[in-house]
Amino acid sequence: MIYNFDEIIDRNNTDSLKYDFAEKRGMPEDLLPMWVADMDFRTPEPIIEALQSTVSHGIFGYSESREDYYRVLEKWFLTQFNWQIQSKWLVKTPGVVYAISQAIRAFTEEGDGVLIQEPVYYPFRQTIAMNKRKVVVNQLVYNYGRYEIDFEDFEASIQRESVKLFILCSPHNPVGRVWTKEELIRMGDICLEHGVIIIADEIHSDFTFENITHHVFADLKSEYLEQTITCTAPSKTFNLAGLQISNILIANQTYKKRFKEEMAKGGYSQLNIMGIVACRAAYHHGHGWLSQLRVYLKDNLKYVRSFVNTQLEGVRLVEPEGTYLLWLDFSTYLKKHGLSDQELNQLIVYEGKLWLDDGNMFGQGGHSFQRINMACPRALLVKGMEQLATALAIHTKAIKN
Ligand SMILES: Cc1ncc(COP(=O)(O)O)c(C=O)c1O
């Protein structure tokens, strides 16, 4: 089947966080939303059919996954990443952020240090802080358009703050890095040496660009497998975020028990039937759709790259290796026009009629960046980029006048 990713589907009035809640979130109503990380594409047909079949059955009692669920998961990870999982490792949760929060509670005490690499997906910081743990930052180093890890600081921060837990974002949102084997091993060995448990958030692992390989962190060394909580989900890959299903893999059975106890404390046991049905169908039938989507996203990226280079003076695209989230560096533009981040936000919202994510939300190192979600039909992406260009040009003209 050939999928049409160019189709524009009206998402207004569908209870969509991206489209229906601008005013509630303090934004004008008429913005083109390119912020939250879901896609404007219809999910693959086999998933919709599986959901429809469940809906027409009409009984939505307590539900649990069976052997076939595990089997498709096993095949998916083997085919995608050459990773052999075991059924006893699996814990299903209603989302990755939920799982991260449970892991923080299960493996650390109040006041303990939890390490993150900002700029990074902002719920990491929030979840650590909300659980009264200490946010410890190993800031990523921005080197000529590419992000790298300061390994000396990584280790020093772990030692200085007696870090117990490290949340690895791999591939990394928002900077788009897909960490190399060498980088992962360097971080992993430091964690092992200091007894740090790793939460590997690999939710974006199905999105890597040509010639870039995602390495499952836990699979790099048997010692890592024993020390890691791997967070995966079909939600980014197949646009199922609203169904809240994640698969957490914990090989260390002592850790798994602690994790499950923490979930039980919160009163959570069985998942939503729709999530289970959708995940099984996605991993069973989704390969073809995903490979077409990856080609489409590659072309979206090509379009943005060319547009930024030719139309957005003073803006730089941080070349992504993975994810469908683009990280735009406005520092030259801001400097040239003497603008603050706040002024840039105003420009984007009120002149560009665009809703992006301000880089400052992602913590240290996010200053003067914006994150833009390119997982949408090309026509919407073109509209968004042109609106951005118009906004920036209006300001340039105003300064010149
Ligand atoms: C790195 C990362 N982790 C987790 C999530 C969200 O996961 P969930 O909706 O399953 O909580 C996102 C969503 O953008 C993400 O980028």
pLDDT in tens, 13-50: 999 999 999 899 889 988 999 999 999 999 999 999 99
Q: Which residues pair with 115 in a beta bridge?
A: 136, 166
pLDDT at 401 over 90: no
- State in Å: Cα 203 to ligand 1 middle: 7
- State in Å: Cα 144 to ligand 1 middle: 27
pLDDT at 397 over 70: no
Residue of 173, 199, 271, 373 best suited for mutating to test ligand 1, as the one with most atoms within 8 Å of CB: 173
Task: Note the pLDDT of residue 314.
Answer: 95
Q: How far apart are CA 191 and CA 198, in angstroms?
A: 8
Ligand 1: does its nearest atom lie under 6 Å from the Cβ of 187?
A: no
User: What mean pLDDT, rounded, does the chain reach?
Assistant: 96
Of 33, 367, 50, the closest CA to residue 234 belongs to: 50
Task: Note the pLDDT of residue 398.
Answer: 52
Topology (CATH) of 60-285: Aspartate Aminotransferase; domain 2 (3.40.640)
Of 370, 326, 363, the closest CA to residue 344 belongs to: 370
- State in Å: Cα 173 to ligand 1 middle: 9
What's the gap between Cα 262 and its chain centre? 24
How is residue 270 written in tokens?
A: 């069985």
Name 346's Cβ contacts closer than 8 Å, sequence gap at least 6.
none
Of 324, 314, 364, the closest CA to residue 344 belongs to: 314
- State in Å: Cα 125 to ligand 1 middle: 13
Of 306, 300, 308, the closest CA to residue 388 belongs to: 308
- State in Å: Cα 76 to ligand 1 middle: 20
What's the gap between Cα 30 and its chain centre? 26
Question: What is the position in ligand 1's atom list of the atom closest to the CA of 94?
Answer: 10
pLDDT at 321 over 90: yes
To the nearest 10°, report the CA torsion of 317, 383, 374, 334. Answer: 30
Ligand 1: does its nearest atom lie under 6 Å from the Cβ of 121?
A: yes
Q: How far apart are CA 212 and CA 189, in angstroms?
A: 23
Ligand 1: does its nearest atom lie under 6 Å from the Cβ of 201?
A: yes
**Are the C-beta atoms of residues 91 and 250 closer than 8 Å to each other?**
yes
Task: Note the pLDDT of residue 302.
Answer: 98
- Left, alpha or beta for 144 (phi > 0: left; psi -120 to 50: alpha)? left
Please state which CATH class domain 17-44+287-396 belongs to: alpha beta
Question: What is the position in ligand 1's atom list of the atom closest to the CA of 36?
Answer: 14
What's the gap between Cα 224 and its chain centre? 22
- State in Å: Cα 233 to ligand 1 middle: 9
Task: Note the pLDDT of residue 269.
Answer: 86
**Are the C-beta atoms of residues 208 and 321 closer than 8 Å to each other?**
yes
pLDDT in tens, 190-244: 999 999 999 999 999 999 999 999 999 999 999 999 999 999 999 999 999 999 9
pLDDT at 399 over 80: no
Question: What is the position in ligand 1's atom list of the atom closest to the CA of 169?
Answer: 1
Q: How many CA atoms lie within 13 A of 213 on its CB side?
A: 11
Ligand 1: does its nearest atom lie under 6 Å from the Cβ of 97?
A: yes
Burial class (CB in 10 A: 0-12, 13-18, 19+), 244: middle
Question: What is the position in ligand 1's atom list of the atom closest to the CA of 37?
Answer: 14
Q: How far apart are CA 86 and CA 71, in angstroms?
A: 10
Q: How far apart are CA 306 and CA 312, in angstroms?
A: 10
Task: Note the pLDDT of residue 242.
Answer: 97
Residue of 18, 96, 125, 205 best suited for mutating to test ligand 1, as the one with most atoms within 8 Å of CB: 96
Ligand 1: does its nearest atom lie under 6 Å from the Cβ of 38?
A: no
Phi, psi values for residue 25, rounded to 5°: -100, 20
More confident residue, 382 or 25: 382
- Per the listing, tokens 């003209």 go with 397
DSSP string spanning 341-377? HHHHHHIIIIIT-EE-EEGGGG-TT-TTEEEEE--S-
Ligand 1: does its nearest atom lie under 6 Å from the Cβ of 199?
A: no
Percent of the chain with pLDDT over 70: 99
Confidence tier at 394 by pLDDT (50, 70, 90): confident
How is the chain split into domains, by residue range? 17-44+287-396, 60-285
Ligand 1: does its nearest atom lie under 6 Å from the Cβ of 279?
A: no
Which of 48-57's residues contact partners 24+ apart within 8 Å by CB, and which partners?
49/281, 50/277, 50/278, 50/280, 50/281, 51/274, 51/277, 51/278, 51/281, 53/277, 54/273, 54/274, 54/277
Rounded (10°) angle between helices 378-400 and 287-311: 20
Ligand 1: does its nearest atom lie under 6 Å from the Cβ of 307?
A: no
Of 127, 133, 188, the closest CA to residue 162 belongs to: 133
pLDDT in tens, 46-101: 999 999 999 999 999 999 999 999 999 999 999 999 999 999 999 999 999 999 99
Ligand 1: does its nearest atom lie under 6 Å from the Cβ of 247?
A: no
Ligand 1: does its nearest atom lie under 6 Å from the Cβ of 233?
A: yes
Paired sense of beta strands 113-116 and 134-137, if any: parallel
For 309-332, what is the mean pLDDT? 97
Residue of 92, 173, 203 best suited for mutating to test ligand 1, as the one with most atoms within 8 Å of CB: 203
Ligand 1: does its nearest atom lie under 6 Å from the Cβ of 230?
A: no
How is residue 23 written in tokens?
A: 């005013």
- State in Å: Cα 73 to ligand 1 middle: 19
